[in-house]
């Protein structure tokens, strides 16, 4: 197998791009580094393409390794043929390789192996080849052996048929054809496991769909329903076609062996092939569904991580609750904790006046601009209470204060973590959640990297999928997001630094320790003084590190140290120096001059690739720019929309909270997010909701249906 060619065909890119990327990966370069600083080599492949390439490279190398293991194992048995070698060579999946190896595997004791121990294999060959003219019952008598447990000719024939049934089951070509037929014509059928009980799976109590059409989210829902014993699931297969196909291949006209062989074929199908094929197909469907769910989760998580920061605001983090009270944390514009308290405006205490007085005092004392309210238990009651406080503040003092709802997914995980204990050793665990809620509004990325990515809660069925694969995928998503934004080395936490290309947790902690002992870093190359951060790690991380107020103005950009000379020459050619990047009045002029350059000509003059030059020009045009500034800002509210206020046909503005395979959930300011089904996203056909919206998008929606009993709202984006 030519791995480079295979990947190039799958990703629809050139072989040279794949070859160069594989070399860069093998040399120890990270995906963010390759994506950003080796565009000439890869032909500008994106981080998503590079991660997919990396995953396929690992899979195909494992496949190649397994092929060699299987080949050697069969060769050691003295059974390797040219046909097997060719079959292994063209096999495209691990499942195909295992099917080829199946007949040669060491088996547990089966009916066939027991029959072989009784010496019945030659009889099985006679029946299968259908050549002998002597009556089979007479031939079978020769195999009667009471010591081995063969008492009659019929017992001998039955044992021989067991061997034939297993051989048919082990035939890789049959299994391949059966799978293909089942994928083409098979149906997945579900019935109620507990028909009398109500559940979330009622739509599947009597359900069927072609397996080549069923979407991923339905597979995962069915799997969960089966696990919880609400559903019974089976795959119906085109049995007649399958039996006919095998019979056509094995039977040689009508003869004395025909009925025996038909019996063996049917037994092989019912007892051996069908159950294992069903397991394999269910496993394949689940694996593909999980891959899709992980992909959706990753896309959503990336959008959430890259949410626009709300800078320069003093925020009250409001973690709602009933009995234990609402936890309050006041955070200044730099993210520093100013104050904490607990108030009880909700049931059972209902101390609305006392809670209001406490909040009014905090707002006045710290000049608070914003409330970040967690979206968990008692969120709705807390929102109503905060809206009243905001009205009163405006009436009494004329001060504008807003609030927004913030996802508190993972806040409790962070609160009880070792990291939270290190950050806030003297703060009660329950109050740390409020700090996290406030800070994730100010800087989503810096705060969300502190929790396990899968706890972010912006996917579907994240607890049902392969947790190892989910963890690896989301780790890559966080890494890409962090490196896309860049990290201020003088303020970043170890959690944030550990996601920078080339920096692990140990090095991240060493950077913070070095910073604490030596003061702020003044230039990137000072990183080389950090223990365990060598030249290789420095090359990988340097471009993603930002140093503000340092010695070199280029270090507020993502221009890599290897390109400093080119960047300085470029600025010099238009009559400027790096220090001019820090002056507002000269920056506009620099931007205008850079925009007029002939990139092709300048790239040749400076002996640099065009893609790299374009990136340098973009960075010099907007030095220190945070790419998240272009993302939609949170919807800021001062008043509450009650569920009872909703009317069909009403047009509302909302925030996309989650994107799933069948649509998107949008927060329009009522307690529960409304669903925009995929069919209501556009007048045109929509294959995937992520083509239309992303987490964090601000969208206009129309209310098309209200279910008051279940407190559900259906929305449409077809305005």
* pTM for this predicted structure: 0.83
Supply the pLDDT for residue 640.
Answer: 67
Of the three residues 47, 73, 104, the one that is the final residue of a domain is 104
DSSP secondary structure of 310-328: -TT--EEEEE--STT-EEE
pLDDT tens digits, 504-542: 999 999 999 999 999 999 999 999 999 999 999 999 999
Cα 314 from Cα 368, distance rounded (Å): 5
pLDDT tens digits, 614-667: 999 999 999 988 888 887 777 777 776 778 888 899 888 888 888 988 899 998
Could you give the percent of the chain with pLDDT greater than 70?
100
| Long-range contact set of residues 532-535: C-beta below 8 Å, sequence gap at least 24 | 532/506, 532/507, 533/503, 533/507
- Identify whether 409 is part of a domain: yes
Pick from 32-36, 243-247, 580-584: least confident: 580-584
Average pLDDT over residues 149-170: 96
Supply the pLDDT for residue 43.
Answer: 95
Closest alpha carbon to 532 in 504, 512, 552: 504
| Residue predicted with more confidence, 419 or 115 | 115
pLDDT tens digits, 289-303: 999 989 888 888 888
Q: At a CB cut-off of 8 Å and minimum separation 6, what does 34 contact?
A: 21, 24, 25, 41, 42, 45, 50
- Identify whether 394 is part of a domain: yes
| Residue predicted with more confidence, 645 or 159 | 159
Are 10 and 50 contained in the same domain? Answer: yes
Whichever domain contains 374, its CATH number is 3.30.420.140
137: phi then psi, degrees, rounded to nearest 5 = -65, -35
Res. 411: pLDDT tops 90: no
Average pLDDT over residues 103-119: 92
Res. 160: pLDDT tops 90: yes
Supply the pLDDT for residue 654.
Answer: 86
Please, which residues bridge with residue 554 across strands? none
Whichever domain contains 656, its CATH number is 2.40.50.140
Average pLDDT over residues 307-317: 91
| Residue predicted with more confidence, 467 or 230 | 230
Supply the pLDDT for residue 407.
Answer: 84
pLDDT tens digits, 132-149: 999 999 999 999 999 999
pLDDT tens digits, 330-371: 999 988 999 999 999 999 999 999 999 999 999 999 999 999
Of the three residues 415, 442, 469, the one that is the final residue of a domain is 442
Supply the pLDDT for residue 409.
Answer: 83
Cα 214 from Cα 289, distance rounded (Å): 10
DSSP secondary structure of 464-478: TS-HHHHHHHHHHHH
pLDDT tens digits, 538-592: 999 999 999 999 999 999 999 999 999 999 999 999 999 999 999 888 999 999 9
Are 541 and 553 contained in the same domain? Answer: no
Mean pLDDT, the chain, integer:
92
- The residue segments making up the domain with residue 15 are 3-104
Supply the pLDDT for residue 375.
Answer: 85
Res. 462: pLDDT tops 80: no
- Identify whether 679 is part of a domain: yes
Whichever domain contains 154, its CATH number is 1.10.3500.10
Are 234 and 382 contained in the same domain? Answer: no
Whichever domain contains 603, its CATH number is 1.10.10.2740
Are 258 and 177 contained in the same domain? Answer: yes
Res. 431: pLDDT tops 90: yes
- Identify whether 702 is part of a domain: yes
What's CA 323's distance to the chain center, in Å? 36
Are 201 and 52 contained in the same domain? Answer: no
Are 140 and 265 contained in the same domain? Answer: yes
Q: 416 by DSSP, 3-state: which?
A: coil
């Amino acid at each position: 197998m030519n791995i480079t060619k295979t990947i190039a065909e799958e990703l629809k890119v050139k072989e040279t791009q794949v070859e160069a990327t594989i070399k860069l990966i093998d040399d120890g370069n990270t995906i963010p580094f390759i994506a950003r600083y080796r565009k000439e080599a890869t032909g500008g492949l994106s981080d998503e393409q590079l991660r997919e390439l990396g995953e396929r490279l690992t899979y195909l190398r494992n496949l190649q390794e397994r092929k060699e293991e299987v080949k050697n194992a069969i060769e050691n048995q003295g059974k390797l043929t040219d046909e097997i070698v060719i079959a292994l060579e063209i096999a495209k999946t691990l499942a195909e390789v295992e099917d080829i190896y199946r007949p040669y595997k060491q088996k547990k004791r089966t009916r066939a192996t027991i029959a072989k121990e009784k010496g019945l294999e030659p009889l099985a060959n006679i029946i299968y080849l259908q050549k002998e003219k002597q009556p089979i019952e007479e031939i079978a008598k020769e195999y009667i052996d009471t010591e081995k447990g063969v008492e009659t000719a019929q017992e001998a024939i039955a044992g021989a048929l067991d061997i034939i049934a297993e051989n048919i089951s082990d035939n890789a070509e049959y299994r391949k054809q059966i799978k293909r037929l089942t994928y083409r014509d098979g149906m997945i059928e579900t019935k109620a496991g507990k028909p009398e009980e109500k559940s979330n799976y009622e739509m599947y109590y009597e359900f069927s769909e072609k397996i080549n059409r069923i979407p991923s989210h339905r597979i995962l829902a069915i799997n969960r329903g089966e696990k919880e014993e609400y559903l019974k699931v089976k795959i119906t297969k085109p049995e007649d076609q399958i039996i006919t196909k095998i019979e056509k291949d094995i039977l040689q006209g009508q003869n004395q062996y025909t009925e025996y062989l038909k019996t063996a074929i049917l037994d092989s199908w019912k007892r051996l092939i069908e159950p294992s094929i069903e397991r394999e197909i269910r496993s394949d469907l689940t694996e593909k569904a999980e891959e899709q769910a992980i992909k959706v989760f990753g896309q959503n998580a990336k959008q959430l991580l890259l949410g626009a920061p709300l800078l320069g605001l003093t925020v009250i983090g409001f973690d709602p609750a009933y009995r234990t009270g609402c936890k309050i944390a006041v955070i200044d514009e730099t993210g520093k904790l100013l104050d904490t308290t607990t108030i009880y405006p909700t049931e059972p205490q209902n101390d609305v006046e006392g809670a209001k007085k406490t909040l009014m005092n905090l707002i006045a004392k710290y000049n608070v601009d914003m409330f970040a309210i967690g979206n968990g238990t008692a969120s709705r009651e807390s929102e109503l209470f905060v809206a009243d406080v905001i009205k009163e503040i405006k009436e009494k003092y004329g001060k504008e204060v807003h609030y927004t709802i913030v996802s508190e997914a993972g806040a409790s995980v962070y609160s009880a973590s070792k990291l939270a204990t290190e950050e806030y050793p003297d703060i009660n665990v329950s109050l740390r959640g409020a700090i996290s809620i406030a800070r994730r509004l100010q800087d989503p990325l810096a705060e969300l990297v502190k929790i396990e990515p899968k706890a972010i809660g912006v996917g579907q069925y994240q607890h049902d999928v392969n947790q190892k694969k989910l963890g690896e995928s989301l780790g890559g998503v966080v890494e890409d997001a962090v490196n896309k934004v860049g990290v201020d080395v003088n303020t970043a936490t170890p959690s944030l630094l550990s996601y920078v290309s080339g920096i692990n947790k140990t090095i991240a902690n060493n950077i913070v320790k070095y910073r604490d002992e030596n003061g702020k870093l003044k230039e990137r190359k000072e990183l080389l003084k950090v223990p365990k951060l060598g030249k290789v790690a420095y090359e990988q991380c340097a471009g993603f590190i930002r140093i503000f107020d340092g010695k070199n103005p280029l270090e507020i950009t993502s221009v890599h140290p290897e390109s400093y000379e080119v960047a300085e020459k470029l600025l010099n050619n238009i009559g400027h120096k790096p220090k001019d990047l820090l002056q507002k009045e000269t920056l506009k002029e620099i931007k205008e001059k850079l925009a007029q350059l002939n990139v092709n000509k300048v790239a040749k003059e400076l002996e640099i690739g065009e893609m790299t030059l374009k990136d340098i020009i973009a960075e010099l045009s907007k030095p220190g720019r945070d790419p998240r500034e272009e993302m939609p800002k949170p919807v800021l509210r001062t008043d509450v929309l009650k569920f009872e206020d909703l009317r069909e046909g009403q047009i509302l503005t909302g925030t996309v909270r989650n994107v799933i395979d069948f649509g998107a959930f949008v927060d329009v300011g009522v307690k529960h997010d409304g669903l925009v089904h995929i069919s209501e996203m556009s007048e045109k056909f929509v294959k995937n909701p992520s083509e239309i919206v992303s987490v964090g998008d601000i969208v206009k929606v129309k209310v098309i249906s209200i279910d008051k009993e279940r407190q559900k709202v259906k929305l449409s984006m077809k305005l």
